[in-house]
Structure 1
């Protein structure tokens, strides 16, 4: 399986399709990640708060895959922004993962009520410069948060990982990324099953036309939009299905029809607003 890559502003390449372990139980993580690696996934997205970094690390160690062929992401949790906590946090994550560095380290949420995300971002710059992460970025940052960290540090994140799916396309943040050489990673790319995405006419029609599942159609839409995406599943057949999206392409008309599913007013969001997570 050949997965396309994108080049981050750091100069490092990131596989456009990865495997996310959000809500994968700790006891299932090693098996699930090992299965993903055996299928051909090389990009694994975890986080300290997920509680399964050890399982990811065990799967990496057992895989025999050279380290430079893997792309591993983890994230700084909300209560570790202050002081030198980001340094302690990444070292704890590296210990659990069994790695000397991660490929991407993210500020998980801006936690604006605490007003310490600029400090956290400045510390991530230090961690990158110390070699603990090859690239750094953020997650769930709104434009105001992005503008502020860039104004105060001069550093643009390599990525912003945000809730993004056809009903909630966050076009303003996507445009900010395009203007500032920041890639967009989509979490919840299939809407987390919280609305009938697969039953919507443009998705259904493209599914029939290409003899692909609705999930494959939506993931293909993400890929063609230039997003980095990592759907989560613990089922072998679904892991394979999610990766089988590189042998077809949606037409311009099909892409436009799915684009038109965006609620446009934020009402399509299915999870918490970043300003409410503190």
Structure 2
């Protein structure tokens, strides 16, 4: 059972005592979106171990915050250049003072005003988080901001509607009503499941192409055999014609000799 905020404050808590204190996601669409952002990035960065992804996890940044129960947990946040191991919460003073490099909030009717206002100011002024994005799974509202001269400036999308993230080294954009990652070339970054499906499809296509190539080769062999048979038949017919011509010549020569005519 998680300790109360007052108990935590009285005990001068360390990171091992601080559980996350975030509400459940608003809808299944919000949950699916969050899971997609987490699992897809973990798959893309599967060869790395120098980052931490927080999903609906409380960030503790001051002990006064515990006394006031002023808990702030982004829906999604990324910290780079840190150890990738499970955490019950992100406790800034236990993480060498590190705040998230990127935050994504999933807007809902209940949280949109807070995400656009109070949280945006907190991430800008206190966290100094380099990039902040929000996305609504319901209305598809999507915006991104980057810290410039200590103020968030809107990041303009490209012609495809994609917004570049320096923290990720990837684009963020909407695909099939979900917020997705895109490569620097603008191609959709696949999840592990999508990669597996694509691999199966590629294998099936390769198998089909091999079967078609085999069938084509067999057809070419059959056609070559048929052509060879036709050529052999033509050769036989020509030989027969030559033999018949020779026999006619011999008969004619014999007739001429019987008439005492020199065929030469």
Same fold, judged at TM 0.5 (above) = no
Who wins on radius of gyration, i.e. which is larger? 2
> Using CA pairs below 8 Å that are at least 6 residues apart, which structure has the higher relative contact order?
1
- TM score, norm. by length of structure 1: 0.29
- TM score, norm. by length of structure 2: 0.30
